[in-house]
Amino acid sequence: MTTEFDSNVFRGARALITGGMGFIGSNLAIALVERGARVTIVDEMISGYGGNLFNIEPIKDRVSINYGDIRDANVMNYLVRDQDFVFHLAGQVDHIMSLQDPFPDIDINVKGTAVVMEACRHHNPAAKVIYTGTRGQYGKPAKLPVNEQAPLQPLGIYEITNVAAERIVEAYHLVFGVRSCLLRITNTYGPRAQMRHSRYGVVNWFVRLALDDKTIPVFGDGRIQRDFLYIDDCVEAILRCAASDCAWGEVFNVGVDKPSNFVELAETVVRIAGSGRWELTPFSPERRAQEPGNFYSDISKIRGMLGWQPKIGLEEGLQRTVDYYRKYKSHYW
């Protein structure tokens, strides 16, 4: 079991969330508001990126919203002032799009991160920054499970720009004293993810197909392993990092050390939804080019330092996810 952490550090604190209308950002915003934080969301609401006003429906009257661009220095210089925490989640996260057009990744993920960190450096160097990267930064792992010392060998532009963004945040910590914590997050699923296309969020897309009584394509032989992380566990990891002084300057994997394969995932989704089916499907050239093979995270560092480990198993997480989208389908389809 995980140990409790002192969430009172957020009571009355000011928190800025970039990309706060998106999947992880909106769930984080709700968790922070529930803990008494004064939350500001900045999100440009770029079409197809997952920003959804309905995501913050439970707290819409208790947050400040700015429809700005993290690449706009004037916007960020203003927004970071007086913030206790800056949760930097905004980014281009579409693997397939990055293969077709690399420049949004470079512009948003690299330039945008530099703008955010410059704003902190000049206008609020006391802010604590949490940056959320991806397990894709590791590329094809040499051995499993993958710990934080594993070499970073990203396979695509998206993952390369995540490494660059991480290094930028790290540099501002080391050179300018803007405290930061770096997270490498695995495949996350659950309520409030976008459901209109399949370009990211494989678990949620499986849920949509099942709820629509369609066929789920399981690529290759379906035996590739992944660690699927439920959103509430992901958010708790982010909060623990922000609340813990020992986290500053550290890199943490946020994942699950008990992997599942895609056949198991598809079978469980179909059973819980009570509809849909699955079939094995050949990889497309684009997907094959970026497929790292088996991957699951070594989370012993974050467990040891912060007492975090995932609580929600795949069965329970998928049940919650199916229930949410069945209830609020009209806001996501």
* Polymer length of the chain: 333
Query: DSSP class of residue 4?
Result: P
What digits encode the pLDDT tens for the residues 243-282?
Answer: 999 999 999 999 999 999 999 999 999 999 999 999 999 9
Half-sphere exposure for 48 (CA within 13 Å, toward CB)? 9
* Distance of alpha carbon 156 from alpha carbon 137, whole angstroms: 9
* Distance of alpha carbon 24 from alpha carbon 231, whole angstroms: 7
Question: Taken in order 73, 76, 80, 86, is the CA torsion positive or negative?
Answer: negative
pLDDT surpassing 80 at residue 151: yes
Residue 305, both tokens: 């330092």
Q: What is the mean pLDDT of the chain?
A: 94
Find out whether the peptide bond into 58 is cis, omega within 30 degrees of 0: no
Question: Taken in order 235, 236, 239, 240, is the CA torsion positive or negative?
Answer: negative
* Distance of alpha carbon 56 from alpha carbon 191, whole angstroms: 11
**Chain-centre distance for alpha carbon 324:** 19
Mean pLDDT of 73-100: 91
pTM of the model: 0.96
State residue 98's pLDDT score: 74
What digits encode the pLDDT tens for the residues 200-251?
Answer: 889 999 999 999 999 999 998 999 999 999 999 999 999 999 999 999 999 9
* Distance of alpha carbon 106 from alpha carbon 110, whole angstroms: 5
Question: Taken in order 213, 218, 223, 229, is the CA torsion positive or negative?
Answer: negative
Q: What does the domain layout of the chain look like in residue ranges? A: 9-191+229-257+297-310
101 φ/ψ angles, rounded to the nearest 5 degrees: -150, 100
pLDDT surpassing 50 at residue 2: no
* Distance of alpha carbon 50 from alpha carbon 199, whole angstroms: 11
Per the rule left: phi > 0, alpha: psi between -120 and 50, beta: everything else, 301 is alpha
State residue 156's pLDDT score: 86
According to CATH, the superfamily of the domain at 9-191+229-257+297-310 is: NAD(P)-binding Rossmann-like Domain (3.40.50.720)
Q: Contact, 132 vs 115, CB < 8 A?
A: no
State residue 4's pLDDT score: 64
Q: Contact, 272 vs 322, CB < 8 A?
A: yes
pLDDT surpassing 50 at residue 125: yes
Which positions ≥6 away from 323 have C-beta within 8 Å?
Answer: none
Beta bridge mates, 219: 281
DSSP 3-state of 55: helix
CB atoms under 10 Å from CB of 244, counted, come to 19
What digits encode the pLDDT tens for the residues 46-63?
Answer: 988 899 999 999 999 999
